[in-house]
Amino acid sequence: MDKLLPHPLIKRVVVLMLENRGFDHLMGWLYSLQDNPNIITRQGDGRPFIGLSTVPDLDALKNPSPVGDPLPIRKGARSPKTPSYNTGESFAHIMNQMWGVALNDAVWKDREQRERLIDQISHQGQLAPPMNGYVLDYNQDVYHHVGVRLGERELGEVLDTYTPEQLPVISGLARYYAVSDEWFCSVPSQTNTNRAFSMSGTSRGMVNNSFYDPPTWNPGVKIFSKLSPGEISNADALPITTRSLFEVLEQNNCTWKVYWQDTWPPRDVSLGMEWQYTRTMFPFLADSQFDPNFEEFDASNPQNGFFAAARAGQLPAVSWIEPKWGGGQQWNTVFRAVGNDYHPVSDTTTGEDFVMNVYNALAANEAFANTLLVITFDENGGTYDHVVPPLAAPSGNDACPLPQPKIPRGDMDAETRTQYGFGFGQFGVRVPTLLISPRVPQGTIFRSTTDTPYDHTSLIATILKLAGIDETKWQMGDRVANAPTFENVANQDPPRVIPEPTAALTIGPRPVTESVKYNMDYLLEYKGDLWYDKPGSRFLGPSSGLSKSGHYYPTMVDERLAIPFRFVPLGGGDAVSPIFNMSLLGIKTTEQAIIGLRYFTVSSLLSSVFYGRSIDGPEAQWQVRILSSRDRREEVRLGEDIYILSQLGPNIVQSASRRTRPDPLQRLVPLPGDPGEPTYVTTRAAEWGVWRIRPIG
């Protein structure tokens, strides 16, 4: 591409905005007090890493519960899909979570009542929101949307927080490059208002999704009502006068492109329409002249769209990546979209894989030395963070310019001309934001060097500054004009030499033991969930014997009954060579009693794994992954934590079966038997399913 950024060090910026994860929820344990990160911050700020690991008294963060004693913050999410019910993400829910109350939503949606309630709480000694209403709101939200009353165990899930080894890609990148521990979403609410701020510095008075519901939305798409009660689109078409980052770039001859994966709102089958999210939000960009600036790509195909352009070094000056949208009200339902955006309720490993592929594509080209990848999240989406969001400056462009009848959902306060009368004087909850580039020093934490903290408008201000566009030409409101920028973090010259970029995808120490090799005998020990239930050790054992269905099934047994297994290469052969992380392979029993049936095999029709005759098809092919690493150069070692993924893709039968849901990452796990002891093995999505490979004897 011609016309890249004129900045001497950064020629390209790539922005990937993911979905709905709070900072503590995702990265609260990234650094400890014993670590010594490089902290870029304002003068006089001597604070260490601002996370759960540096909170002096975690008990003080307990959340009141409607079913018993206050619930604690838990280190370690109980599954990759935590939380398994979608958390409340709209304005009223975020206010509940911040202020620690479980009142009717309407209280927060009325300006006078809201101000009166906050004043009342403040006069009781609470000068800032206590950030302890996550459990109360989770209880209220799940019952409202799903009709389920959660018990103490399920309610506590909203306070589960991931450890770095549970999310090795995003945690590894954060430690290898830079992360901000003081970056707030722009509005204490949900997706569209925060994404609007990230692209235009205002949401024109919108607080909740569908305030500017697209007028051509067809409510006949009934299946969508299962995901979004009320048959609203959860999309917004802002007034055409709303100025966006892309418009400013276009007017100043700076190349840009939006790479997208999913239509939103979903495809309107009855009208044959497709909706692109950003072009729906900014009608000015819907003009055909901008068709070349929007490119759809398939995240499962590394040879197309964004990936191909990144590997070839042909990205424009500014690339904006939209993830594949996912989520739903609860995990165990067919009305759940499987995305790669980290949105609850999803398997976070799917998002991890997408981020890994984006990073690998960028790092594969020499242009990476002058590229800055920014990864952030639109909002916390109801997931946990303990830091009080500070006050914010309005944009000066926040009033809705349309008369009330033209806004389908209404809710506009007549005096402020904003939804619910919100003045946009409050940042939203803290979210993770990463800066990734050879220009960024390793192990960096970055904070604003001014009294104004980072929020999503810093994306706009930094990009326009890197583009060398005079501030008089921005014309995007006060929030953008006054936003702190972060180009100072990516100023290492010459750039760091990163000979093996995939080293950034490993977190934490690994055991110094022998490598695991093909065609050697090992015991397979199941450790399950290392952080929550800790079920104890079970081993793969002998087959069950021929069943009525005509199959032999491997069983789970005590160590004394365990039998050896081998990993075999898919290409065949007897060579003894090391197994590398993320290798595809077969699993072969050494049991002599079942002649000809040797290989672990899965089926879309059966609940259990059984023995098959070959490894020629995907039903008998597996991938071994080191729990804390996605570096393909790493050799799998004895005694370290791994999980084993089936390569059999999900299908329509699987989506209705008890074995699995239509998720691409199916882990090898025990199948609970009667009376609850794991007897056989199966594959399921979104369980940790940790195994250890043990030597014989």
Query: How is 255-298 classified by DSSP, letter by letter?
Result: -EEEEE-S-SSPPBTTTTB---HHHHH-GGGGSGGGGGGEEE--
- 23-32, 572-581, 618-627: the lowest-pLDDT one: 572-581
CA 322 – CA 337 distance, rounded (Å): 15
- Same domain, yes or no, for 534 and 629? yes
| Structural domain contains residue 6 | no
- Same domain, yes or no, for 601 and 472? no
Sign (positive/negative) of CA torsion 363, 369, 370, 374? positive
pLDDT at 279: 95
pLDDT tens digits for 250-265? 999 999 999 999 888 7
Looking at 505, 537, 558, the residue that finishes a domain is 505
| Structural domain contains residue 516 | no
Mean pLDDT, all residues of the chain? 90
Looking at 505, 531, 558, the residue that finishes a domain is 505
pTM for the full predicted model: 0.95
Confirm if 449 and 384 have CB atoms less than 8 A apart.
Answer: no
Secondary structure of residue 155 in the 3-state scheme: helix
CATH number, domain with residue 598: 2.80.10.50
- Same domain, yes or no, for 118 and 159? yes
For the chain, the helix, strand and coil percentages under 3-state DSSP, each to the nearest 5: 25, 20, 55
- Same domain, yes or no, for 527 and 497? no
pLDDT tens digits for 5-43? 999 999 999 999 999 999 999 999 999 999 999 999 999
Question: How many domains does the chain contain in total?
Answer: 2
pLDDT at 681: 92
At 596, the pLDDT band (50, 70, 90 cuts) reads confident
Query: How is 558-573 classified by DSSP, letter by letter?
Result: -GGG---EEEEETT--
| Structural domain contains residue 2 | no
Task: With both helix axes pointing from N to C terminus, report the angle between 91-99 and 111-123 in degrees, rounded to the nearest 10.
Answer: 10
Range of the domain at 288: 12-505
pLDDT for residue 569 is more than 50:
yes
Mode of pairing for the β-strands spanning 599-601 and 622-626:
unpaired
Dmax over CA atoms of the chain, in Å, equals 81
| Structural domain contains residue 518 | no
Q: Both tokens of residue 29?
A: 């344990």
- Same domain, yes or no, for 192 and 144? yes
Confirm if 204 and 397 have CB atoms less than 8 A apart.
Answer: yes
Sign (positive/negative) of CA torsion 435, 438, 444, 450? negative
- Same domain, yes or no, for 490 and 629? no
Q: Both tokens of residue 425?
A: 């004087």
- Same domain, yes or no, for 497 and 610? no
Percent of the chain with pLDDT over 70: 91
- Same domain, yes or no, for 435 and 532? no
Which residues make Cβ contacts (< 8 Å) with residue 147, sequence separation at least 6? none
What residue type is assigned to position 278 of the chain? T
pLDDT tens digits for 350-407? 999 999 999 999 999 999 999 999 999 999 999 999 999 999 999 999 999 988 777 7
Q: Which of these, 467, 463, 415, 470, lies nearest to 201 by C-alpha position?
A: 463
- Same domain, yes or no, for 483 and 543? no
CA 171 – CA 162 distance, rounded (Å): 10
Confirm if 13 and 417 have CB atoms less than 8 A apart.
Answer: no
Q: Both tokens of residue 670?
A: 């025990």
CA 630 – CA 609 distance, rounded (Å): 26
pLDDT tens digits for 535-557? 678 899 998 877 666 788 999 99
- Same domain, yes or no, for 489 and 602? no
pLDDT at 223: 46
- Same domain, yes or no, for 413 and 542? no
CA 481 – CA 636 distance, rounded (Å): 50
Q: Which residues pair with 513 in a beta bridge?
A: none
What DSSP designation does 657 have?
A: S
Please give the sequence-ordered ranges of beta strands (E in DSSP) within 390-529, or none if there are none. 433-436, 444-446, 523-528
Looking at 505, 531, 557, the residue that finishes a domain is 505
Confirm if 587 and 599 have CB atoms less than 8 A apart.
Answer: yes
Q: Which of these, 547, 398, 409, lies nearest to 479 by C-alpha position?
A: 398
Which residues make Cβ contacts (< 8 Å) with residue 8, sequence separation at least 6? none
CA 599 – CA 610 distance, rounded (Å): 8
| Structural domain contains residue 681 | yes
| Structural domain contains residue 515 | no
At 224, the pLDDT band (50, 70, 90 cuts) reads very low
pLDDT at 658: 45
CATH number, domain with residue 252: 3.40.720.10
Secondary structure of residue 637 in the 3-state scheme: strand
Per-residue pLDDT, averaged over 644-650, amounts to 87
- Same domain, yes or no, for 290 and 356? yes
| Structural domain contains residue 676 | yes
| Structural domain contains residue 421 | yes
Confirm if 167 and 153 have CB atoms less than 8 A apart.
Answer: no
Q: Which of these, 445, 391, 326, 392, lies nearest to 86 by C-alpha position?
A: 326
Q: Both tokens of residue 74?
A: 């838990």
Which residues make Cβ contacts (< 8 Å) with residue 126, sequence separation at least 6? none
